[in-house]
Structure 1
């Protein structure tokens, strides 16, 4: 072989190696995904905040560290109620929160956390996955450049903390109560003044008297918040949040640019947290309620049937207002109502009937 041929082949070989190096290095780098994730919850807040942080960690675990999320709690990067715009604009890739905080953007978002006389956690999952709920949520979120997934559920929530006994619906007139979403709209129909506050600001407003009452989640979270220090009457059941679903919302353009595998990893992490959080709340609420009653002097009260009837009548008025908003809002409500009738009908003769009989037999 002539010397110049050796040199030529050597240069070609070196060029090939260089080309391969040039191609492979960016490909490896591009395969790593770094996410900025903002949240509506305080850092390390049990259940809600820790669930969001757990989801972020699960992304790394399921991808062997290839997908990482830098988590920002409420106020660390943007305010709790600013996460929607932060992700829609592309400044962050995802947020963890509650969709009903953003009914000001569109009332349809309320249906993807909880609405008055709505769906329980298991009914919610059925609607999302088999009843067309996810498709409607995708359509709604897509109008704002977002893509959402279910990522947690607190189960049935309590009716709230009150400084006085709530003997009838008329007691809500003039009441300043922290209650976001469409539940707050029901309060307005009853003559109350709903106030929307992030979790981190509830205690200070209740203890100072800036609000007269509040709902939050349930005994476990409410005990941690020490809401009993400002109000002793604890009412149940909550008409406004029968199965509050939390969500992870992502910038849609960013989501669409991911591979199917990476989309599935994120979806799997969200689905795992959706189940895990519900289990956690179900386990911890009972013991927390007993501590509130035995150690903190909390007085447990049940809303009267007449009061609940008033909640129902006001809710129907709110639903009419929602449907007047837009064609999409009407389709969301009609789909939800269909699911409530069909899945709820089955639930009545399955879960509800069984639990009633079990508790009767066991004297619970």
Structure 2
């Protein structure tokens, strides 16, 4: 049996069939509007992983929205001061930023928790606290005060303890030290006798060279090598106990974010989550190679003495407890953070630490 197609009927029906598509096109365009945002980073262009993360987020958002939502990333100082990124986002003069919340502890010391506090959480532990321990909810409660919303967007992993013009053998050697250091660690070192200061990454080298500061910490071998610190302060200390993991955030102006269609908001969530995982992976590849080059070129790798670490541990607890006594929000976040830290430390002492203590040594000694 055969059926005949009525050519005239088919041609007549075609415009009617196409009508829903034609009608849908304006609606589709409306739901996927052209959006242009500017992003200010707190980091110089030369820090390819740090600033590169902002660029990667911008590129990924564009890909996920077929180029309709475009974010242009600018290095620190180009469209806003490096350490005023949150202020620019809060005011709405810039739509978003890639920065570290502990740069803004002058606004509220509780902001330190979402990047790092001394003797706190490593990168993996911090991810767990933020995602499943209530940490990110606590951060966005705070961000509402600054007309902003935050998304975790990269972790450096455990950082180094900085570059020093002279050796630091005892707690007494810290007294009078002019130290570029960020977050609550500055208050810890102040209790140990140092004079802390916050200097943008782009100005650290010149400050060391001129003697404005005696020591500086930034991130780790990969970035530190690029910025040339070994040439002016050869003593390279480990570990950066105040940054066992330093989490960065993509921070968006709340009003600008609320105006986005749902799929653009989803693109931000996807792009930042991908970048969050990528950063520490990149550092774990780059840092060992950079450390070898730094040591080969004359950097003196040194480690904090146990008495210094113990003094810093006690000073840190004093700082945290005093701040909690004066700031209810700080107290609330500290309780959440400490509870999670103590639980995860117990587990990692059994699992991770027992393995690391043997395997890291055995790889060099057991044959």
Same-fold status (TM-score > 0.5): yes
Alpha-carbon distance, 1:108 to partner = 0.9
Hey, what does 1:338 align to over in structure 2? 339
On the 8 A contact 1:44/1:50 being kept in 2, the answer is no
CA change 1:64–1:176 in 2 (3 A) is same
Hey, what does 1:253 align to over in structure 2? 255
- Deviations along 1:220-268, one digit per CA (max 9) or x if unpaired, are 1111111001011111111111100111111112223333322221011
Alpha-carbon distance, 1:209 to partner = 0.6
Kindly report which structure 2 residues correspond to 1:22-171, keeping only aligned pairs within 5 A, or say none: 24=26, 27-28=29-30, 31-171=33-173
Distance 1:53 1:270 in 2: 11
Kindly report which structure 2 residues correspond to 1:226-241, keeping only aligned pairs within 5 A, or say none: 226-241=228-243
The answer on 1:315 being equivalent to 2:328 is no
- Deviations along 1:304-342, one digit per CA (max 9) or x if unpaired, are 100000110110111023213321111111111011111
- Deviations along 1:127-180, one digit per CA (max 9) or x if unpaired, are 001000011001111111111111011100011111111011111111000001
Alpha-carbon distance, 1:44 to partner = 4.2
Alpha-carbon distance, 1:71 to partner = 1.6
Contiguous gaps of at least 5 residues in structure 2: 1-18
Kindly report which structure 2 residues correspond to 1:279-290, keeping only aligned pairs within 5 A, or say none: 279-290=281-292
Distance 1:194 1:64 in 2: 46
- Deviations along 1:11-50, one digit per CA (max 9) or x if unpaired, are xxxxxx9xx99x9389538622211111111124221111
**Secondary structure, aligned partner of 2:146:** coil
Distance 1:29 1:87 in 2: 25
- Of 239-248 and 51-60, more deviation after overlay is shown by 51-60
Contiguous gaps of at least 5 residues in structure 1: 1-16
On the 8 A contact 1:159/1:239 being kept in 2, the answer is yes
Task: State the superposition RMSD in angstroms.
Answer: 1.9
